[in-house]
Structure 1
């Protein structure tokens, strides 16, 4: 019986015949490159290890810019996300951020400082609101400029309405700024705790009683209360500005306080007179006097407590124009750079604290570098075929950014429930649409701050106020009283575990 035959694509193979050679790539005779085998000649031999790609100088610059921008954006997004979620990472964190439901009896006298400059439209109502505090022992000092008759008139009219509570101090220094005004009023303060408010603030009448109790409960040197911007529908950027404040005071400041390094807020902050006398008040040459004071007090071991109860947050408005917002953010960034250069943070006792301080205070530089690299990266991606590895790296920031956006969605919904504001579909759309433009704006403000700092332009750029937040519903009608059960569910990103991760 004959052996079976096998048909193949290369011909007929019979039993007993030899197989054809395996088709293995062989070195070429001229020593040229062979697929999957490298160079055949001695001049093209490839040793094991890493070899730099053969890019032109322009490609090296462009691809490196894309990689650096991607790494910076990723680092900023991840750290921002971690800080934003601090208050919700455990139930203990969330419960520990609020004022006491039943405050202790008053034990301190308060001096409230309210500087105002060209703010006659909002100052009078703020002073009247402060005079309604239910605390038994406090005074209010309004500070006005000698060259600002409109604000001076409004302040004196309020003092006439509340002669036992309000007095006016005139600042005759030049040039004028907020820390100078605060230091002037501090000289005549009679309270053992000094609080700072801005001229447009809407302050809850129970706030001082709750703060007084917090000082007694914790033996704190500083108590930082909550501040919340309200007019989130005013412009495309106001929504993001509002959410920034929400996460900053609701969560991030609590993380910084727990880390024992905290840049204080500009208002609704209360410091013992003893600590202010020790620090000789505020640094009049710093554009972020609140941050600078917080760094100095943290370096000296002061105990800082942050408390945020939506019922009693101080309500404010976003800047009235995009230009005002740009100037405000530039001033903050430049102030952070001044604090970094001053070096007080180097006195913090632990390496971890110094790391947090350096990272937070260098954020304007990081944002500025990222802002300069983003256009280069975009142009490169649109005009040049980017190598696969570089392209993959450029997509890394997308993951934390999408998570960040999801957290902002949840935060916006909770903001609406907490403050009785109806959040519509178009608000969520504006939140998504404004993500990239707002990041570009932050980078622009950082670049401008670096430019001003390098040119030693330290003039105070004031933010105008119009009282837009006062169109919102009255505070008492929009929030649940302290200690009462809340009908709204907990945020979706509150972890079930009681342990902080």
Structure 2
């Protein structure tokens, strides 16, 4: 047997392995303890103090805290909007409670229907004709026109000649003109114990007054707000969103506001008892949202407001014909809400909860606009700015109710098409999704403009023009100039 060492035993010793953690030399004046000190890498934003708070600079604390507060505020606004949108669909009982009675009671009230019009010769004659077809046994119609609007006056007086026992004509000579001034002028000669308001382009169901009369009797209400629905969703990308706004507002949101006993009324298809209008001395002719202002005053005085919605009884309207026109209309509404907020009638509400709710609701147009504008900014911030992971996750919170809202809008569009017998195409859903952010930017721009006008003291009324896009083609008689002159002279 060989006694020579094995070849394995002659190999060179293994090299010393590299340390996993880098040694740190002891500080001057400190001796070695025999234990190797190491540097542990620290993740950005992680506390090095052994506590639970991140090790941020003052600037980082301010910046990240602001982002977090903004994200939480946007989430609250978006969630509130979603909750109001879906209120009517919480249960089958809630949905049924929002409707008119299927078996209306016999008529008891006399109605006065006010229809103001300014430069509405294309649509107002047909509106008056259809209002005159109501099946209620006791009502009158008062059409109000400006003294400087001969075209509309002609159409209105012709309608009065066709329905001499139903339609009266009032000429408003106030300067400058606006809708509440016209309404107050006609209220002076109204004979009904319930007064209703309609716009010059409205398509009204012939059985509406019958079910409204029954609702007053069933509930003992001071105010009954009926449904209003824009119809021409296929006209443009923004008209689609405008139509859905009305659908959710009258189908669901107003019912929630009425249940909360604080409600901004709609501009038409609203019926108020004559006693309540006498108490309020009509409409505030200095407010650009006279409907909202009247609702706030009546709510503050404890008036009972009932909202009812049936698709077959809704008043049908059209969206503004141009984006510029919609921009001016939304500016006027927002500025009117600002005026109502500043007027302070809501401070007379009996409970703190109602007053806080009123303040929140009157600020809602601006909060919604800010939400829509800041969501894309938040997304860009998340993608382009490096922030700690927890902060980044919080900034995504507003997207959750926003996405759910978009899904609810798509479902609402489907239901709208079904109940109104409108064909909804795939391209309409695509426009709905793609129009989300542009429409929110548009609303934000209108909100900013309303604030600027209010600060400048500009309370001028910007009228929304109408073309009858929601109506079927129906021949409307157009008289000759000679017949027109004779009609006006005969009915003055």
TM-score range, shorter chain: 0.7 to 0.9
CA distance in 2, matches of 1:34, 1:398: 40
Residue in 2 that maps onto 1:233: 234
Residue in 1 that maps onto 2:331: 330
Residue in 1 that maps onto 2:489: none
Is 1:371–1:444's contact at 8 Å kept on the other side of the alignment?
Answer: no
Residue in 1 that maps onto 2:282: 281
Residue in 2 that maps onto 1:29: 26
Q: Which residues of 2 match residues 81-480 of structure 1 at below 5 A?
A: 81-367=82-368, 369-370=370-371, 373=374, 377=378, 380-381=381-382, 383-471=384-472
Deviation for aligned residue 1:144: 0.6
CA distance in 2, matches of 1:26, 1:360: 63
After superposition, the C-alpha distances for 1:140-199 in whole angstroms (9 at most, x for unaligned) are 001111111111111111111101000111111111111111111111110000000000
Is 1:77–1:400's contact at 8 Å kept on the other side of the alignment?
Answer: yes
Residue in 1 that maps onto 2:57: 54
Q: 1:33 to 1:390 in 2, by over 3 A?
A: farther
After superposition, the C-alpha distances for 1:308-328 in whole angstroms (9 at most, x for unaligned) are 011110000001100111111
Deviation for aligned residue 1:355: 2.2
Q: 1:285 to 1:28 in 2, by over 3 A?
A: farther
After superposition, the C-alpha distances for 1:46-84 in whole angstroms (9 at most, x for unaligned) are 363535623758x956x5665454333322221111111
CA distance in 2, matches of 1:250, 1:364: 18
Deviation for aligned residue 1:441: 1.2
Range with bigger deviation, 129-138 or 67-76: 67-76
Deviation for aligned residue 1:379: 5.8
Deviation for aligned residue 1:130: 0.3
Residue in 1 that maps onto 2:34: none
Deviation for aligned residue 1:373: 4.9
CA distance in 1, matches of 2:55, 2:373: 26
Deviation for aligned residue 1:407: 1.0
Is 1:66–1:373's contact at 8 Å kept on the other side of the alignment?
Answer: no
CA distance in 2, matches of 1:403, 1:45: 40
Paired residue secondary structure (2:470)? helix
CA distance in 1, matches of 2:243, 2:372: 22
CA distance in 1, matches of 2:296, 2:356: 13
Is 2:198–2:268's contact at 8 Å kept on the other side of the alignment?
Answer: yes
Q: 1:202 to 1:28 in 2, by over 3 A?
A: farther
TM-score, normalised to structure 2's length? 0.85
Paired residue secondary structure (1:470)? coil
Deviation for aligned residue 1:393: 2.2
Deviation for aligned residue 1:444: 1.3
Is 2:373–2:441's contact at 8 Å kept on the other side of the alignment?
Answer: no
Q: Which residues of 2 match residues 61-76 of structure 1 at below 5 A?
A: 66-76=67-77
Paired residue secondary structure (1:247)? helix
Paired residue secondary structure (2:237)? coil
Is 2:375–2:399's contact at 8 Å kept on the other side of the alignment?
Answer: no
CA distance in 2, matches of 1:157, 1:388: 70
Which residues of structure 1 form unaligned runs of 5+?
1-10, 13-19, 39-43, 474-501
Is 2:142–2:170's contact at 8 Å kept on the other side of the alignment?
Answer: yes
Paired residue secondary structure (1:341)? helix
Is 2:160–2:169's contact at 8 Å kept on the other side of the alignment?
Answer: yes
Number of residue equivalences: 448
Residue in 1 that maps onto 2:3: none
Paired residue secondary structure (1:237)? helix
Deviation for aligned residue 1:357: 0.9
Deviation for aligned residue 1:364: 3.3
TM-score, normalised to structure 1's length? 0.84
Which residues of structure 2 form unaligned runs of 5+?
1-12, 29-36, 475-492
CA distance in 1, matches of 2:23, 2:301: 73
After superposition, the C-alpha distances for 1:103-158 in whole angstroms (9 at most, x for unaligned) are 10100000000000111101000000100000111010011111111111111111
CA distance in 1, matches of 2:65, 2:453: 27
After superposition, the C-alpha distances for 1:313-361 in whole angstroms (9 at most, x for unaligned) are 0000001100111111111111111111111111111222222211110
